[in-house]
Amino acid sequence: MGYYDSNNWTQDGVAYYAELLPHISQITLTMWPLTVVPSHLTRLSSSKIYIKTTSDSAARTIVLPGRTAKDAPLSLQQSYQLNSNSKTGSLRVKAEREERKEHISPLPARQLSGCKSVQCSECGVVLLKDNMKYLDLPSENWYEMLDYWHCHKPDHQHGYEGGNAISRDALNPRKSLALVGLTYVMVVGDDICSERIKVSDTLPKMVACSACSCDVGIVDRLDQNIVKLYKWNLSLEPKSISNDITLCRYSLEIFVTEMLLEIIEFHSTHQFGIAALSDEETILCYLWVFNSDISYTSNIQQEPTRAMKVFYTEQPDVCNQEIATETVELPSSALNNIFKVLERRNKELPESLRAFGKWNVSLLHRL
């Protein structure tokens, strides 16, 4: 990725980044490059300000990522801080407390059941046959939680060994019945329009759209008749115009943040190794989820956007070796996509906020 010059982002050469920390109800606005305190600042509403960086520059309206508290002072004299070394100016203001949206899983079985067809998101080719039924799978961590599901005290011994032990293979799709996980739709091969896909000869066996060559899924390692279609490469066509489900898709980073959030919830770890799909599980990038829930706006992202702030590095010695590192596997194409997102968002931050020690700082969007 090339370097992003912030002077190309705005007409007056000044970029901005505003961040809401909902847990402490604080909004921080950073502008750069600046060598003087802005000449004018007016609050237009609880979430909009009007600012001029110099007396002869064009004024601009900035949408903040949250609402400022009614009693919060907002003046250049009281609140604005200028750092002449980094040529950045920052403004901190108290925000109103807000109820964050409940965490929802993207493209659940209910939404898939209400669509006319499941398509390749890149070219619109229909991938699944008609009359499919969809069921949501339990959490990705359901098997690991079995140790905590007891019908008796943990030290109690049964007098027999049951022959119906639950295994990871207990939940498999069947003909015309797809199982929906957090990041994939699992189907049997016969339910895929076979003439519209092609399967690679090498392991892992990737499933690509025959029309645009986009990697839409992967063949299961244990059962060659099962295919997992990646949700981030699927789009849904509504049954009718009046249907409340529109043609929709979610980007890859939404599903990556969903995976990270679920692992954080179950394992209470915030350090991750991102690996390419392979038998070796070679970690190519390390992530530290510093804050899993912020909102931000910028001259690039002008509408309030929910995100997680992450630190990332390719150097394993930067990680805290005393903290468990959970591995997240992604296909190579998805891994490259996430690298590009991390680098691009890093360059969109103020230069003074792009690094934390030896870590690089970036943002990943979430629901």
* 13-22, 121-130, 163-172, range with the lowest pLDDT: 163-172
Condensed to tens digits (0 to 9), the pLDDT of residues 327-351 reads 999 999 999 999 999 999 999 999 9
**Residue 283: CB atoms within 10 Å:** 18
- Four-residue CA torsion sign, 328, 332, 337, 343: positive
pLDDT confidence of 276, banded at 50, 70, 90?
Answer: very high
* Per-residue exposure over 239-275, b if at least 16 CB sit within 10 Å of its own CB, e if not: eeeeeebeeebbebbbbbbbbbbbbbeeeeebbbbbb
* pLDDT higher than threshold 90 for residue 307: yes
**Residue 76: CB atoms within 10 Å:** 15
pLDDT confidence of 321, banded at 50, 70, 90?
Answer: confident
Residue from 65, 360, 121 nearest 254 by CA:
121
3-state SS string over the chain?
Answer: CCCCCHHHCCCCCCEEEEEEECCCCEEEEEEECCCCCCCEEEEEECCEEEEECCCCCCCEEEECCCCECCCCCCCHHHHEEEECCCCEEEEEEEECCCCCCCCCCCCCHHHHHCEEEEEECCCCCECECCCCEEEECCCCCCCHHHHHCCCCCCCCCCCCCCCCCCCHHHCCCECCEEEECCCEEEEEHHHECHHHEEECCCCCCEEEECCCCCEEEEECCCCCCEEEEEHHHEEEEECCCCCCCCCECCCHHHHHHHHHHHHHHHHCCCEEEEEECCCCCCEEEEEEEEEEEEEEEECCCCCCEEEEEEEEECCHHHCCCCCCCEEEEECHHHHHHHHHHHHHHHHHCCHHHCEECCEEEEEEECC
pLDDT confidence of 39, banded at 50, 70, 90?
Answer: confident
* pLDDT higher than threshold 70 for residue 154: no
| Cα(223)–Cα(153) distance, integer angstroms | 36
User: Considering the chain, what percentage of its residues have pLDDT values greater than 90?
Assistant: 65
Q: In the prediction, which pLDDT does 142 show?
A: 61
User: Considering the chain, what percentage of its residues have pLDDT values greater than 70?
Assistant: 86
* pLDDT higher than threshold 50 for residue 4: no
Condensed to tens digits (0 to 9), the pLDDT of residues 172-184 reads 999 999 999 999 9
**What strands, in cross-sheet order, belong to the sheet with 48-52?**
40-45, 48-52, 60-63
pLDDT confidence of 1, banded at 50, 70, 90?
Answer: very low
Residue from 83, 98, 87 nearest 20 by CA:
98
pLDDT confidence of 280, banded at 50, 70, 90?
Answer: confident
Give bridge partners of residue 132 from the DSSP assignment. none
> Which residue is it, tokens 């067809």?
117
* pLDDT higher than threshold 80 for residue 29: yes
pLDDT confidence of 241, banded at 50, 70, 90?
Answer: low
pLDDT confidence of 155, banded at 50, 70, 90?
Answer: low
* 88-97, 216-225, 229-238, 317-326, range with the lowest pLDDT: 317-326
Q: In the prediction, which pLDDT does 7 show?
A: 41
Q: In the prediction, which pLDDT does 11 show?
A: 55
- Domains detected in the chain: 6-94 (2.60.40), 109-143+171-238 (2.170.150.10), 252-365 (no CATH)
Mean pLDDT (whole number) for 276-295: 90
* Alpha-carbon distance values, 349 to 3, 279, 298 (Å): 12, 36, 9
